[in-house]
Structure 1
């Protein structure tokens, strides 16, 4: 098959693993990169495909092997999976055995009762659709995206177990579960011989719920890893909002970050954290990423990017010395839980 004159053939960087950092996921045998790439935002039809393609390829060249998706990601729903599937077909297909692909089901993607929740119908129907979106025979990790207390836990477990036994998923995970329900599903999955690999909670300097509610201890007890999302608190843990909200910033048009949380209290705390970061020769974003990865229960942190520069910058967080006890105390002083969350 001949390529058109404008089509570029991608060759992966042969040195991509030389400086890559991998961490073991709980008590499993699976290693994940310290930074995983999330397609939650900016991978729908509202951003240029060629930019998305460039960023995904660059991530792989940096040794980021894990790409995290969901049926809900877009807009519209499923678009992020379809866009990633296009990049996989064009560029990354020869490296499928080096990739960890994950997807999720359970958050609403339409008005039908079968397009949400934790039933076998919802989970397994979504998984089949996601495999078609991605153009693959299996995903490495299949998540239940959010707990569904209206469905018996046993049924959700049976759906996840079926996904593995059918060969359509290698591992299963959960997201946004509180510790008691996470422990309950971990026990039920273990009894079926399909251990819970991983849990995906929100965690950042400004959102410390997993420190307070016991999820860290649950992960230790049940042997699953944690992969944390929103480690930069939707941009609040960057230097973007230290003065005023810039034109075109996420806070102007995002459903996940409201302008009213960017107040004087937030700015005072963020500026102090920024000073600490500067004293270490790094950015506030790099400090925030390094901070979430300091915990042994945290296998990986999910990062997104709107440019290859941003990706390089975030991955460089791994290059700085460990945070000292005094520096961690300063983070605790100024990184007050609930800042920017409306809690």
Structure 2
């Protein structure tokens, strides 16, 4: 982490070793360890004059570590998907992971795990667009929800059928991925416009890129199939993803590469790029030479798109009164529901 940020190592005390280990885990190795999750107690409460109160978070103070443990739980779902859906065919045959019935079963298992995860998100991390934007919980909530939709895309993306061919499973995977991508672009756009901090979470890179790829593919598929589609409206959603990547590339080099891929796809596919889209290849430019990123000051509206008929439409907020209204848009939480 320190080497990525270009800063000195901050781990000075032994108490931080466990936290550093879990940080390493969250960055790349999803399923190689069997350990208890970190204690949800902020470091200022680790030591106490009363030994009985040590390592106990005050009930009235939400823990900053709650985000981290929930992010790790989300990664466990991703690890399961990587071991099953994305494993090589030889490994699948060896374990009996073959056939349409198995694929439908495993996708349903992943969807169920995601639903259980979203229902268990602590209240202070639930998405709330009216939350104080300077609060760290605003960034944490944005990161959790965008990665939730990212994993939903990962689960259903392999089952998107080729044009003119039937789907391998009964789930509307293309619709699910498209809806998740629109929701993801909406979340990261709201975060980008509302956040007053110059630093943006690096955990937004993969969701922004995956959402942009799915939305660009949906435009291409619509053109190939002759469906009525508004390319400019769809590219506006892709533009939100590219705008976030453009802002992230000042610190994270891979964000510039992601932006370049989306830009090249739009160019090759003859998609209408926003007028303020900076031109050029994937070469990283210095801050003083960087063209201004896209700026959209218009009020944010929830993304539109066909609902996922496989699931009962609902808001992802446990406390929302509109949770089971059947509407595609939750008026109380300003999010796109699935």
Q: Under a length normalisation based on structure 1, what TM-score does the superposition of the two structures give?
A: 0.27
Structure showing greater radius of gyration is 2
Bigger RCO of structures 1 and 2 (CA < 8 A, at least 6 apart) = 1
- Higher relative strand content: 1
- Higher relative helix content: 2
